[in-house]
């Protein structure tokens, strides 16, 4: 086990990685917004930091069609053959 190991770095490209990333953001954002929707009405937005206000505004702007498209993309990407 004390022998010399030779390793080789191989560059790989993951097709559609940017599309997958955006689909993931849309999915997570939509699900988080939906899960806290009942609390948002009682929330004083002024008490939140700017980052939370921006995130809530962006996530709340997604519609159901975009969510379904994101799910379709995720399903398509999980059906990819591996090497």
End-to-end CA distance of the chain: 28
Distance in angstroms (rounded) separating the CA atoms of residues 57 and 53? 6
> Per residue in 42-82, pLDDT tens?
888 889 899 999 998 998 899 999 999 999 998 888 876 65
Whose tokens are 């990819």? That residue is 80
pTM for the structure as a whole: 0.69
């Amino acid at each position: 086990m004390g022998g010399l190991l030779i390793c080789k770095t191989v560059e790989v490209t993951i097709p559609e990685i940017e599309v997958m990333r955006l689909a993931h953001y849309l999915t997570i954002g939509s699900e988080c917004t939906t899960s806290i929707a009942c609390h948002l009405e009682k929330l004083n937005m002024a008490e939140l930091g700017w980052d939370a206000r921006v995130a809530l505004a962006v996530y709340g702007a997604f519609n159901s069609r975009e969510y379904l498209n994101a799910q379709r993309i995720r399903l398509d990407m999980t059906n990819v053959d591996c090497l």
